[in-house]
Amino acid sequence: MTPAARLQAALELIEEVEADARPADAVVSAWFRSRRDLNDRDHGELSDLLYAVLRGHARLNWHLAKQRREPTARNRLLAWLALGEGKTRDQIQRLFTGGRFAPAALTDGEGVLLARLQGGTLEHPEMPDGVLGECPDWALGPMQSRFGEAFTREMAAMLRPPPLDLRVNPLKGTRESVLEALRRIGFEAQACRMAPHGIRLPRRLSLARLPMLKTGAVEIQDEGSQLVALLVGARPGERVVDFCAGAGGKTLAMACDMANKGAVIACDISEARLKRAAGRFRGAGLHNIQTRVLTSERDKWVKRHKGGFDRVLVDAPCSGTGTWRRNPDARWRAQDAGLEALAALQREILDSAARLVKPGGRLVYATCSLLAEENEAQVEAFLAAHPEFRLVPLGEAAPQITGSAHPDYLSLTPARHGTDGFFAAAMTRDAPVTA
């Protein structure tokens, strides 16, 4: 693919991501599947360019507004080439020729824009904090309250491309054997610092280059997500529920911790998600997982099985603020009213799922959010309304997990821990279920 063709393809991809309601990674995957003419190098270069533009969304729009230009996909791409890659107007003009496979030729107005941006940088001293940190208005106050003086550092950490974290399936190998295999095929792999089965690769790559993914020897899972599953503490022979299983990553990790013994019930309101997850379960060689489609958080199945499980994980739907470094488009999809609605849904889900926990059993509430409104506030409200539960401090629940930003909860941030942002709290039921 020529440099000009790469830019035209990138422009088409940016436009498609902006027009589609699905997350960017889903749109990108579908787009690449439709372009069989592209090789691994093309995939990598296009993905890098797309995500660079997405990560610069607010800053690029700020520069365009300053130059009184519309924030179109094409203008953002032009601004990125000038400010992010340092290209001159003449260099860009030689790529935007209007020829076959190349972007349309520059207009006079676009030439003026590039002349004005030439020699500039993406960051500008006049930018507000929210623009510099690529933080949307609806999250700016809560994020500043959450991090205080560390706000700028945490926002900057979420503007860097994330590494690729893997979780080794202990039923199919050891971390040492997988590390050795990865290094043999040329990857700079290293053991994750906190997760006992975690492996980190410094950057994302074509998954086709990882043969151990096809055999189920490893799964892609951020180190923070692995630690949430570890906090559940699932043991062989127990009965466990993953109440919001989604793609099944934490379900897989817990089932592995149980050595394929006992039962894990993966629940979700999406039958399609559970079907996809079931394929992952089979590929990993796990036979102790069942799936259960729920009509809602108040599905009758919950009442029929109240008090029947040793461990219940509630990985609640949330704002996803902790995943912004790998899902940069997600920050611009949420709306102000969405946070209140999410908080109400989280309360309902946690209240309902708690009925499944037997006396002496463990309930873990988790999100991939960095906002106190979705995390500490939810746990405190739940415990106040449910005196039959008590908080289990992190050091007691999972003494092997150290370095959390909070002494009682699992609290991970990109800048401090090098993971996605995660929160999790472990609670135990001291009294029988009455409702």
Catalytic residues: 368
Helix (H) or strand (E) holding 363: strand 357-367
- The whole-angstrom separation of Cα 96 and Cα 177 is 48
* DSSP-assigned beta bridge partners for residue 167: 198, 219
Encode burial over 398-433: b for 16+ CB neighbours within 10 A, e otherwise: beebeebbeebbbbbbbbbbbbbbbbbbbbbbeeeb
Question: Can you tell me which residue has the tokens 């993905």?
Answer: 47
Closest listed residue to residue 89, CA positions, set 111, 67, 68: 111
Q: How far is residue 214 from each of residues 181, 279, 354, measured CA to CA in Å?
A: 14, 12, 36
Q: What is the DSSP letter of 241?
A: E
- Our CA angle for 270, 276, 278, nearest 5°, is 100
Helix (H) or strand (E) holding 434: none
Q: Which two tokens stand for residue 314?
A: 């509630």
Residue 161, helix vs strand vs coil: coil
Residue 17, helix vs strand vs coil: helix
Closest listed residue to residue 101, CA positions, set 217, 2, 230: 2
Q: Are 324 and 331 in contact (CB under 8 A)?
A: yes
**CA quadruple 89, 91, 93, 96: dihedral, nearest 10:** -130
Residue 68, helix vs strand vs coil: coil
Q: Are 71 and 64 in contact (CB under 8 A)?
A: yes
Q: Are strands 357-367 and 422-429 parallel, antiparallel or unpaired?
A: antiparallel
Q: How far is residue 32 from each of residues 11, 44, 46, measured CA to CA in Å?
A: 14, 11, 10
Q: How far is residue 274 from each of residues 271, 277, 330, 408, 424, measured CA to CA in Å?
A: 5, 5, 23, 32, 23
- Our CA angle for 327, 16, 337, nearest 5°, is 55
The residue type found at 343 is A
